[in-house]
Structure 1
Amino acid sequence: MKKSLLTKASVLLLASAIGCQEKPVEVDYTIMSDEERLEAAKEIAHETIMVDGHVDLPYRMKVGGFTLQREILDVSERTDGGNFDFPRSKEGGLDAPFMSIYLPARYQEMGGAKNLADSLILMTKRLADTWPEKFAMAYSPDDIEANFKAGKISLPMGMENGAGIEDDIENVAYFHEKGIRYITLTHGKDNLIGDSSYDTARTHGGLTEFGKEVVKEMNKVGIMVDISHVSDDTFYDVMELTDVPVIASHSSCRKYTPGFERNMDDDMIKRLGEENGIIMINFGGSFIDGNYNDRTAEVREHIVNWLAQNEFSRSDSAAQAYIEKYTAEHNVFPDVKLVADHIDHVVSIAGIDHVGFGSDFDGVGDSLPNGLKDVSMYPNLIAELLKRGYSKEDIEKICYKNVFRVWRAVEDAATKMS
């Protein structure tokens, strides 16, 4: 079990419990100083199971040269790059990052999507086999709860891009057997299942007939349907078809990124909530801030022009010093407060029971907001939510209870169907 920190929050809770044995008084975190509130947030993060809907570690391992025979990327220790490793996870209170089994859209055309999925699944399982005292696989909420009590980080898995199913419906059950617990139906391109938000071709106008079979089969075997990356038409087709709640494992609110269909608009968030689903907020800069890309482009253009005018290359020490100074003075990154704004927005539309964390750590490069640069920094977001009046119970719902509710509903439905 995680070590508890003695903070003003815990003292207040203890005092209230002594004064009233029946029901402790809820702590008012809004009246604390920022320092006290951050300590309270750290305590909550370390006492509460925290699930993140999407962390791209497996593909980072593949790109970094990880093989099944040799561990090039040792995430059991602190790493120089990336956003995830064991020490930083422990610092931030992250207990169950869904490992993204990411299948780039090009594998839909060149073939090999299923084989790539198999290799990434094996890489993920190798983490638990290599460092069993630190990592453990998780195939259910019960597994995560058991691993949490043992002090281990759980590694549930979701497959990002249904292309791994290829054209064989039996592969849905195959991947459930392999440990996949959600499937993101599409990625960057339309596929055999349906249309992608990133693809303007709109090949099918939503789900295909095969895609409808896939959704039904996922309901049957107990795999959560993930509607991140799908087009609006595909989303609504899924909502009409599915018998159980669905998730958006790493999406944010289109209100803050007008025209960016990859995020969910208000009507979609409302419908997701009505059907008891959950949207897990993506932390990436372009996902939370509609002006992020423009600011980044302006800074990049200035640096390119400055290098040309002064006849420097980026490798020159003087150029590196200038770039570091200029980018620090013209910080393009959004703030952790904007991630909290997205959570606020979901809550205002769908309610507190329908939002979670879906960072996209290791998947959105260096675009992450100030205060949320890696998995050690979740307490900064929790502190901001506490400052806005969220209760400890609210935070617990965001951290794990909401996604556990959906996951268990999918498990229960599959058990009944079988």
Structure 2
Amino acid sequence: MELERVFVNKISIITAGAVLAWSQLTTAAIEVSEQAQTIAKETIIVDGHIDVPYRLREKWADVTQATDDGDFDYPRAVAGGLNAPFMSIYVPASLDGSDASTQLAHQLIDSVEAIVARAPDKFAIAYTTNDVKEHFTKGLISLPMGMENGSPIQGDLNNLRIFYDRGIRYITLAHSQSNHISDSSYDLRRQWKGLSPFGKTLIPAMNNIGMLIDISHVSDDAFYQTLKLSESPVIASHSSLRKFTPGFERNMNDDMIKALAENGGVIMINFGSSFVTKEARQWRDGLAKAENALLKKEGKDSPKLADFEATYRKDNPYPYSTIDEVLDHIDHVVKLVGIEHVGLGSDFDGVGDSLPIGLKDVSYFPHLVQGLLNRGYKEDEIKKILSGNVLRVWEEVEDYAKKHG
């Protein structure tokens, strides 16, 4: 796995396995100006999706200090100006329909609370948009939480209230498989042809309680049904554009982005290379086909499967996307529906060794700001992308709940 750390303008590369071609890296490098650094430091930056809790479940680390792996820790967040990352409470689809999904969600929330308890001078749970703004003035990094996969709700609206009270502020309705709420973009079964009957009752309940609805991962039918039912704007917390990854339903097409904008919502761009370019998407598909072919030929006990991806990469180098290609996604949304409907949802700590050249961890946000400046975006426009748009949506969701909850 590649580990890359950036401290403002200095890039230090640590690689395990193949080393990226220097010419490829320098082509994508961006020289960060003082203006970009200032914007990053003086603006609230909201990232819609970072998988720190599940990362720590698999291998514990103290992210209140510098860590040797992963994409997020306190020093790198400070270096990048990131101060409001949504902590993803990710529950695998394999736990759908079991009490274990609800238990895991609570355990992951516990882990976020533990981060804050260890370093209350650095982090604070954010329950409201006002919390985010207040923490920013105090120099604290806000940790709002979003639940990736609605499986832990277990068909019980009482659980919705419990998770809201614990700090969950958005729910991604499904993940890699259809669940009791919604069909998934990854699941060909389409058992509900969109939302389930319970899902159709959950949407207004989320509106009334003040819970953001996240349509990342859901099928197209579920997306449109959600927009029809929701009285509040919705978000795509970590999705990119199908225009650049044809046939990849997990991303959103132009018609969906237009509908999202009409709803008042925001698409938050995923940084993972396979979300950004068709080449990286095709590489991932090729890996899966090759692995399945080996499995069929030699069986699940084949020793070649143990380190298959590393072996595959030697003969088929991974086609990393670049920061410029991430910026292309932002540009397209802006040209299609306006500056008010795009944000950032990196998927740091969730997409493994697939992050773009120039956006390798949370310290890189000044590079993204510089890229936007280089493309002619004004400071007030950049601030909307960094946080203004998603905070507006979150405030509208809060306001609706105050009036109707």
SS of equivalent to 1:158: strand
What SS is found at the alignment partner of 1:251? coil
CA distance in 2, matches of 1:251, 1:410: 20
Change (3 A) 1:297 1:405: closer
Match of 1:27 in 2: none
Instruction: Encode CA deviations 1:279-322: one digit per residue, 9 max, x unaligned.
Output: 00000011001111444688998xxxxxxxxxxx9xxxxxx9x9
Contact 1:195 1:231 in 2 (8 A): yes
Label 1:272 to 1:324 Cα distance change in 2 as closer, same or farther (>3 A). closer
**Cα distance change on mapping 1:274 and 1:80 into 2, 3 Å:** same
Q: 1:98 aligns with which of 78, 86, 92?
A: 86
CA distance 1:197–1:299, change in 2 (3 Å): closer
Count residues with an aligned counterpart: 362
* 2:146 aligned residue: 158
Instruction: Letter of the 2:92 partner, please give it.
Output: P
Shift of 1:349: 1.2
Deviation string 1:368-394 (CA, Å, 9 cap, x unpaired) is 000000000111111111111101001
> What residue in structure 2 maps to residue 183 of structure 1?
171
1:131-280 paired onto structure 2 within 5 Å: 131-280=119-268
Q: Secondary structure, in 3 states, of the residue corresponding to 2:238?
A: strand
Which consecutive aligned stretches of 4+ in structure 1 deviate over 2 angstroms post-superposition? 293-301, 322-327
**Corresponding residue to 1:45 among 40, 50, 53:** 40
Larger radius of gyration: 1
State whether residues 169 and 213 of structure 1, in contact with CA within 8 Å, keep that contact through their aligned partners in structure 2.
no
Distance 1:183 1:324, change over 3 A: closer
Aligned to 1:310: none
**CA 1:43–1:186 in 2, change beyond 3 Å: closer, same or farther?**
same
Post-superposition shift, 1:43?
1.1
Q: Is this contact kept in 1: 2:241–2:253, CA < 8 A? A: yes
Measured in 2, the distance between the counterparts of 1:73 and 1:213 equals 39
Residue matched to 1:115: 103
State the alpha-carbon separation in 1 of the partners of residues 189 and 66 from structure 2.
Answer: 43
SS of the residue 1:172 aligns to: helix
The unaligned stretches of length 5 or more in structure 1 are 6-33, 65-71, 302-312, 314-319
CA distance change for structure 1 residues 81 and 96 in 2, over 3 Å: closer, same or farther?
Answer: same
How far does residue 366 in structure 1 lie from its aligned partner after superposition? Answer: 0.6
Q: Distance in 2 between matches of 1:299 and 1:218?
A: 38
Give the letter aligned to residue 58 of structure 1.
P
* Residues in 2 aligned to 1:293 and 1:272: alpha-carbon distance in whole angstroms: 24
Q: Shift in Å at residue 38 of structure 1?
A: 3.0
Rounded Cα–Cα distance in structure 1 between residues aligned with 2:282 and 2:124: 41
Q: Kindly tell me: are residues 297 and 178 of structure 1, through their superposed partners in 2, closer, same or farther at Cα, counting changes over 3 Å?
A: closer
- Asked whether the 8 Å contact 1:296–1:332 carries over to 2, the reply is no
CA contact (8 A) 1:245 1:410 kept: yes
CA contact 2:348–2:362 (8 Å) conserved in 1? yes
Partner amino acid, structure 2, of 1:153: I
Alignment of 1:350-361 (within 5 A): 350-361=337-348
* 2:398 equivalent to 1:415: no
Residue 96 of structure 2: SS of its match in structure 1? helix
The one-letter code of the counterpart of 1:55 is: I
Report the secondary structure of 2:176's partner residue.
coil
TM-superposition CA deviations, 1:225-267 (whole Å, max 9, x none): 0000000000000010000100000000000000000000000
Aligned partner (choices 328, 339, 343) of residue 326 of structure 2: 339
| 2:356 aligned residue (369, 372, 377) | 369
Bigger CA drift: 133-142 or 287-296?
287-296
Residue in structure 2 matching 1:61, options 56, 81, 96: 56
Q: CA deviation at 1:96?
A: 0.5
Q: Secondary structure at the match of 2:252?
A: coil
C-alpha distance in 1, partners of 2:257/2:122?
Answer: 36
Structure-2 residue corresponding to 1:309: none
Taking the aligned partners of 2:393 and 2:82, their CA distance within structure 1 comes to 19
Q: Distance in 1 between matches of 2:166 and 2:330?
A: 33
Give the C-alpha shift of residue 416 in structure 1: 0.3
Change (3 A) 1:338 1:112: same
1:29 matched residue in structure 2: none
**CA distance change for structure 1 residues 171 and 145 in 2, over 3 Å: closer, same or farther?**
same
Secondary structure in 2 aligned to 1:181?
A: strand
For residue 110 of structure 1, report the CA deviation from its aligned partner: 4.3
Contact 2:99-2:152 within 8 A present in 1 as well: no
Displacement of 1:109: 4.2
Secondary structure of residue in 2 paired with 1:291:
helix
Matched letter for residue 246 of structure 1: V
Which amino acid in structure 2 is aligned with residue 62 of structure 1? R
The residue aligned with 2:65 is 77
Is 2:234–2:265's contact at 8 Å kept on the other side of the alignment?
yes
1: CA distance between counterparts of 2:273 and 2:149? Answer: 22
